[in-house]
Structure 1
Amino acid sequence: MTRSDVLIIGAGPTGLVLALWLSHAGVNVRIIDKTDAPGTTSRALAVQARTLELYRQLDLTDAVIGAGHKMPGVNLWVRGEQAAHLSLTDIGQSRTPYSFLEIYPQDQHEQLLIERLARFGVEVERHTELTDFIDDQAMITAYLKTPDGQVQTCQARYLAGCDGARSTVRKALTTGFPGGTYSQLFYVADVQALGPAVNGELHVDLDEADFLAVFPLAGEGRARLIGTVRGERAVDADALAFADVSQRAIDQLKLEVLKVNWFSTYHVHHRVAEHFRAGNVFVLGDAAHVHSPAGGQGMNTGIGDAINLAWKLAAVLAGRATPALLDSYEAERIGFARQLVATTDRVFSFATADGWLANRVRTRLAPRVLPRVMALKAVRDFMFRTVSQIGVNYRNLPLSEGVAGHVHGGDRLPWAKVAGRDNFDSLHGGTWQIHVYGRASEALLEWGATHNVPVHIFSWHIVHEHAGFSRDAFYLMRPDTYVALAQPYGDPTVLDEYFRRRGITP
């Protein structure tokens, strides 16, 4: 019987990131997938700014950016004309080092993660399927169907279900998965094309015709089309070809498709599991939440789930935290998932709603209102923070405490770069650390040295004030780069109390 610390079911981006972060922390992982090989096509394209920030921990960011395509803006079209333009570069450049949307197809993304995981001696076990498991609180006993058709028994301390919307793990937990299914049939096509919508930016058509979004891909003239098919054409999805999709939507974007490299159809659900944890079993990514493709949030949210859970599992397995820490995974991620599903549902419903009133709003009102609304800095800033996921926070939850300046416990650490010094540079490695913007007290420095928690001091600058920091305050950083404790004064006694109450040893 084989044993591991964590058994991961599913080798998509969520499962691979979980395995990679755990392996980096010294955790013994095993990852299986029922498919024969990694995917060679994909629907997920967008890598958001927050994911790129988190990827700096394991030096993945440069590889993703180097192989992908930086998308600097979004365009909305109505009646064959561009109605509004949102520049991601203008609104995000003071908030993140990644003020763009990175286009990096999921198949390439997975291959990069697989290669990095192999450096830790971990390989995905293909054509291997979870058939059943028992959680007796002390240990998970899992039954795996191996490539030769035999059933193998293995054990693990924890089981992570990263096995998609039809998750075997979630179904075995009998937790609810409420929500619904969009009536539209979606299609995705990788094409070679010409036209103004193939300019390296995202273009979305808002019209009476079927919904259509054009995503740029690396390489001249390459684009990914994601659209809907409604009515009689959508009845027989298996028989549908690219020639059957709405030519009107394509014409509205003045798109000339020269070649279709591949084409596929699928249905989209909007659901969130009632629970993300039961005992020693967790669900992450699409196994826990699925939603429309609006905003390119799905893959990034699953990656966020994985990094959130990874440091907590590593701490518990190393004896540096009590198992109660694992309760915070669901507490921190389920609220965001519910909010995300509700938001993407509203956006997608607006973009695809049928009827006279809906069409009039999109074709008459939107062209007049959108440019004016998008001209407002507050609106552009809100949209960027939402889509890029840099606005995700865990305020008022069990691991978050205090406020100093405009930064609360639970916030993503604001980004600040002064004289070439980037305050994100210290966040590599996934460890507890303290940031001070100004002067650190001797008592705080002594506490850090005693507890082996690095204290990073940044000379005070007006840039730090604009970012929201308070001078001479200290900010305790979690291993996943979120602020755990924001303390306006340099008294370190609150640190001992913070860790004691939560059963954590830094």
Structure 2
Amino acid sequence: MKPLDNVVIVGAGPTGLVLALWLTAQGVKARGPGMQSRALAVQARTLELYRQLGLAEAVVAAGHRNAALNLWTSGTKRATLRFANAGADLTPYPYVLIYPQDRHERLLIARLEDMGVAVERETECLGFEDRGDHVEVQLRLPGGREQRCAAAYVVGCDGARSIVRHQMGTGFPGATYGKFFYVADVQAHGPAACGDIQIALDDADFVAWLAYDDQGRGRLIGVVDDDGADRADTLSFHDVGHRAIAHIGIEVDKVHWFSTYRVHHRVTDRYRTGRAFLAGDAAHVHSPAGGQGMNTGIGDAINLAWKLAAVLRQGAPVALLDSYQAERRAFALRLVETTDRLFQFITAEGRFADFVRTRIAPVVAPLAYGIDDVREYLFRLLSQTLISYRGGPISEGQAGAVQGGDRLPWVHTDDNHAPLCAIAWQVHVYGRARPDLAAWCEAQGMALHRFDFGAAHAAAGLQRDAAYLLRPDSYVGCAVADGSPLRLEAYLDRCIRRSEGQQ
């Protein structure tokens, strides 16, 4: 059989759509039976990765920038945390972008269609078989006819009830929280129905407001009280507690959409089995605290996409694909632990929990946010610019404060992220590039980008005259303090290049 170079993507939420976009941009054919998601917040790191596809500008223009987070208790705004104060020197996108899921997906689908890829919305994956040198995916087409599709790999982006994960036989350990959440898209008015994020911390009667615009359109997310939990499936917006909504100065005029759901926290045992992979909610689910879910799935997709393309199109060793689980599962475990703690904090019951939430947190939060290091850390955590693969199987070296596996720091004085729009390996030097490094890059057909070193580069942790070999997803693969190409050559031989005789 002729080797296959196509990938079947099961699930066409943002994770599956972005995976298809990145694969297509790198010359890999993608096919995708679809499903939907309900994600909302787009974090800075996702926008940086979208920039590589030429998507960031369109997404930012279509969404709404929530520039600050306000904490409320007992009807009074107690603290304001402004994202620009923390992130202006860290990323071109120092805010949380709110972009309704249906509009987000339509934009991604339109971009795929422009690239000649159609999402098969009414096509269902029934299962797959791993044949060793390829997979056969069983599909049910519109009208009920079934079809078998041969592919090099299959990727399950098909949500928490993933058929791909079920067929892989991997576990999905974790638990389900006792409380129900509700979500409602509404038209509202009031002093807080503006362009900021509003959070009420009243006696476990949690509610958050995420603005779609400055004219009172937005999403409310809240906890269903215990009296309503037993009939959560039949509740309407009128049945949920409205005290916390009133306490953040919002009055609802019209409800466009309402739903209730359980919150889970789970991470799969394995992200890969043979030629099958998991990404997004098929691999990990957690509380909505922090707006991390969709962004984590998109991060999965991009991490996997460049590695699949390297194997299928550039002759990289199949072992490179093992680094996908090593990098992304470790992050998912940390994320679930973090969001679990935050969720427990905002929903805990009892007098002591109420006291901490309503009296201590509103005082401590602005004081802590006033400390530069704390403010920067919290923004990095929320924006996912903190994600690092240090110590991972394809991360090497250190130059300055930057180690192999780190996201390339953004330097606003010269926008050193601009060259990353080329989804390819490249070398950055901040200062003087050695002649042998320049010759090596030319021989490899690899772009070398040199920037004049200045105070902003030093503040970002970059080292003068060092060489930073960047992966296609803009993380540092290898950092070499003296700028010598010998370490870069050895790194590529170890991680990326197929040895003689390898299949």
| Band of TM-score, shorter chain | over 0.9
Once residues 381 and 327 of structure 2 are traced to their aligned partners in structure 1, the CA distance between those partners, rounded to angstroms, is 17
**What residue in structure 2 maps to residue 458 of structure 1?**
451
1:16 maps to what in 2? 17
1:267 is displaced (CA, Å) by 1.2
Q: Which amino acid aligns with 1:328?
A: S
Q: Do the aligned residues in 2 keep the contact of 1:199 with 1:216 (CA within 8 Å)?
A: yes
1:109-188 matches, within 5 Å, as 109-188=104-183
In the TM superposition, 1:51-70 aligns within 5 A as 51-70=46-65
Query: Which of 195, 213, 217 matches 1:218?
Result: 213
Structure 1: state its 5+ residue gaps. Answer: none
Matched residue, 1:299:
294
Per-residue deviation, 1:219:
5.1
SS of alignment partner, residue 175 of structure 2: strand
Matched to 1:139, the amino acid is H
Contact 1:402 1:485 in 2 (8 A): yes
* Counterpart position of 1:30: 31
Aligned equivalent of 1:347, options 342, 346, 349: 342
Runs of 4 or more above 4 Å deviation:
1-4
- Give the equivalent residue in structure 2 for 1:433: 426
- 2:438 is matched with 445
User: Cα distance 1:88–1:219, how it changes in 2: closer, same or farther (>3 A)?
Assistant: closer
What displacement does 1:4 show? Answer: 6.1
Question: Which of these residues, 467, 474, 478, is aligned with residue 467 of structure 2?
Answer: 474
Give the Cα–Cα distance (whole angstroms) in 1 for the partners of residues 214 and 76 of structure 2: 25
Deviations 1:266-285 (A, max 9, x none): 11111000111101100000
Higher mean C-alpha displacement, 400-409 vs 486-495: 486-495
The CA deviation at 1:395 is: 0.2
Q: What SS does the aligned partner of 2:394 have?
A: coil
Query: In the alignment, which residue of structure 1 is the partner of 2:389?
Result: 394
Alpha-carbon distance between aligned partners in 1 of 2:203 and 2:340, rounded to the nearest angstrom: 19
The letter for the 2-side match of 1:45 is L
2:367 pairs with 1:372: yes
Tell me the distance in 1 between the aligned counterparts of 2:408 and 2:127. Answer: 41
CA contact (8 A) 1:188 1:265 kept: yes
For the 8 Å contact 2:67–2:84, the answer to whether it is kept is yes
1:269 equivalent in alignment to 2:269: no
Q: Counterpart of 2:128 in 1: which secondary structure?
A: strand
> Of 62, 80, 85, which aligns to 1:85?
80
> Does the alignment pair 1:48 with 2:43?
yes
Contact kept in structure 1, 2:70 and 2:77, CA below 8 Å: yes
Bigger mean CA deviation after superposition, 362-371 or 338-347: 362-371
Distance in 2 between residues matched to 1:401 and 1:226, nearest whole Å: 42
**Is the partner of 1:490 in helix, strand or coil?**
coil
Amino acid at match of 1:62: E
Query: 1:429 & 1:187 partners in 2: Cα distance?
Result: 41
User: Is the Cα contact below 8 Å between 1:7 and 1:29 reproduced in 2?
Assistant: yes
- Structure 1 residue identity aligned to 2:497: I
Cα distance in 1 between the residues matched to 2:362 and 2:317: 55
Deviation of 1:328 (Å):
0.3
CA–CA separation in structure 1 for the residues paired with 2:204 and 2:48: 37
Q: Secondary structure at the match of 1:183?
A: strand
Structure 2 CA distance, aligned partners of 1:363 and 1:466? Answer: 37
Q: Deviations over 1:279-333 (max 9, x none)?
A: 1100000000000011000000000000000000001001420100000000000
Letter in 1 for 2:493: R
3-state SS of 2:310 partner: helix
Structure 1 CA distance, aligned partners of 2:411 and 2:204?
44
Shift of 1:228: 1.0
The question of whether the paired residues in 2 share the 8 Å contact of 1:4 and 1:30 is answered with no
Aligned-residue offset at 1:209: 4.7
What secondary structure is seen at the aligned counterpart in 1 of 2:152?
strand
From 394, 406, 414, the counterpart of 2:409: 414
Query: CA–CA distance in 2 between the matches of 1:28 and 1:247?
Result: 49
**Distance change >3 Å, CA 459–CA 184, structure 1 → 2:** same
Q: Shift of residue 389 of structure 1?
A: 0.4
Q: Which position in structure 2 is the counterpart of 1:281?
A: 276
The alpha carbon displacement at 1:358 in A equals 1.0
Q: Please say if 1:488 is aligned against 2:489.
A: no
The question of whether the paired residues in 2 share the 8 Å contact of 1:84 and 1:374 is answered with no
Residue correspondences, number: 497
Give the Å deviation of 1:370: 2.5
SS of 2:219 mapped into structure 1: strand
Aligned residues of 2:399 and 2:481 also touching (Cα < 8 A) = yes
What is the CA-CA distance between 1:410 and the residue it aligns to?
Answer: 0.4
Task: State the secondary structure of the residue aligned to 1:431.
Answer: coil
Letter in 2 for 1:260: V
Q: d(CA) in 2 for partners of 1:407 and 1:104?
A: 32
Distance, in Å, in 1 between the alignment partners of 2:365 and 2:304 is: 39
Gaps of 5+ in 2: 499-503
Q: Distance in 2 between matches of 1:138 and 1:73?
A: 51
Aligned partners of 1:186 and 1:229 also within 8 Å: yes
Deviation per residue, 1:199-221 (Å, 9 max, x gap): 21101111115210000002511
Distance in 2 between residues matched to 1:15 and 1:24, nearest whole Å? 14
What code does the residue aligned with 1:279 have?
Answer: G
Quick one: distance in 2 between partners of 1:451 and 1:414?
A: 24
**Relative to structure 2, which stretch is displaced further, 239-248 or 74-83?**
74-83
Give distance in 2, aligned partners of 1:432 and 1:45: 31
| Contact persistence 1:401–1:409 (CA under 8 A) | yes
Mapped to 1, the partners of 2:370 and 2:348 lie a distance apart of 25
Instruction: Give the share of equivalent positions with the same residue, in percent.
Output: 54
Alpha-carbon distance between aligned partners in 2 of 1:458 and 1:73, rounded to the nearest angstrom: 33
Q: Which amino acid aligns with 1:276?
A: Y
**1:165-199 deviations in whole A, cap 9, x for unaligned?**
11111111111101111111111111111122212
Q: CA RMSD in A?
A: 1.5
Measured in 2, the distance between the counterparts of 1:94 and 1:353 equals 35
2:103 and 2:387 map into 1 onto residues whose CA distance is: 26
Secondary structure of the residue aligned to 1:344 is helix
Give deviations 1:32-76, integer Å, cap 9, x for gaps: 12x5xxx5xx64211100011111111000000111111111111
